[in-house]
């Protein structure tokens, strides 16, 4: 995913960038216009995003909304350091806010959250309290196919890489350290768990089975 993101962003010469991956689709025909209009009128923001419906494609699980805050508000680097509050397919941001991707970005297993943090160095995002896209959750989703603990470890790896990358900026680095501590406290009691490669295949199969019967 990272290389695809990098290639696309490097090729882009537009004033604004919007993200929409294969699992996502936009539901409001005026989505982009609404976001561009907002950013044109509010130069202090680096980007804006909106709510999305998270929709299960298998089983009988009910859909849910990604964002749990009901009102329009700004989202800063500090808040994004605690959690990825921005659904990927909802983001629209100003292009070329920073020169080149840092080396640590190439080492990550995810592209969207660190990208939002790179942009948020230069200003806040604004949240539009409207549902204008759908993210489909299904067994072919790369993230869903992986073991939960493996995903936890990938997030921890991202924290470690970004903390090292922002070592020269005490303020941003401290936000990331606090975010990592909070993430650890919410997952496995603050411990990183080693995953044996031999067990990954069976865990993926079990995950798919649970999704198909609607219990995963």
**pLDDT tier at 191 (50, 70, 90 boundaries)?**
low
Domain definitions of the chain by residue range: 2-137, 142-212
**pLDDT tier at 102 (50, 70, 90 boundaries)?**
very high
Q: What is the pLDDT of residues 47-70, one digit of tens each?
A: 999 999 999 887 788 899 999 988
Q: Hey, which residues does 16 pair with through a beta bridge? A: 94
The pLDDT of residue 138: 73
The pLDDT of residue 211: 41
Q: Comparing 153 with 31, which gets the higher pLDDT?
A: 31
Tokens at residue 29, please? 């025909």
Give CATH for domain 2-137: 3.90.550.10
Number of residues that this document lists for the chain: 216
Is the pLDDT score of 7 beyond 70? no
C-alpha of 46 from chain center: 16
pTM of the model: 0.81
SS (H, E, C) 2-31: HHHHHHHHHHCCCCEEECCCCCEEECCCCH
C-alpha of 201 from chain center: 25
End-to-end CA distance of the chain: 24
Among 41-55, 73-87, 179-193, the range scoring the smallest mean pLDDT is 179-193
The pLDDT of residue 213: 45
The pLDDT of residue 59: 74
Among 89-98, 132-141, 143-152, the range scoring the smallest mean pLDDT is 143-152
**pLDDT tier at 149 (50, 70, 90 boundaries)?**
confident
Are 137 and 56 in contact by the 8 Å Cβ rule? The answer is yes
User: How high does pLDDT run on average in the chain?
Assistant: 84
Among 18-32, 40-54, 164-178, 185-199, the range scoring the smallest mean pLDDT is 185-199
């Amino acid at each position: 995913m990272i290389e695809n993101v990098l290639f696309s962003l490097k090729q882009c010469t537009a004033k604004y960038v919007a993200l929409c991956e294969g699992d996502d689709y936009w539901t409001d025909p005026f989505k982009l216009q609404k976001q561009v209009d907002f950013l044109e009128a509010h130069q202090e923001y680096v980007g804006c995003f909106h709510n999305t419906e998270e929709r299960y494609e298998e089983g009988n699980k009910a859909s849910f909304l990604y964002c749990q805050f009901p009102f329009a508000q700004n989202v800063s680097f500090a808040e994004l350091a605690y959690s990825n509050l921005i659904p990927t397919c909802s983001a629209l941001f100003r292009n070329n806010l920073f020169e080149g991707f840092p080396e640590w970005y190439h080492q990550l297993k995810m592209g969207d959250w660190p990208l939002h943090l790179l942009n948020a160095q230069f200003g806040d995002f604004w949240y539009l309290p409207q549902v204008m896209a759908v993210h489909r959750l299904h067994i072919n989703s790369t993230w869903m196919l992986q073991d939960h603990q493996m995903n936890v470890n990938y997030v921890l790896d991202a924290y470690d890489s970004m903390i090292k990358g922002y070592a020269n900026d005490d303020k941003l680095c401290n936000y990331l350290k606090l975010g990592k501590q909070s993430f650890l406290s919410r997952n496995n009691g603050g411990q990183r768990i080693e995953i044996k490669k031999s067990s990954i295949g069976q865990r993926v199969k079990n995950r798919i089975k649970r999704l198909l019967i609607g219990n995963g």
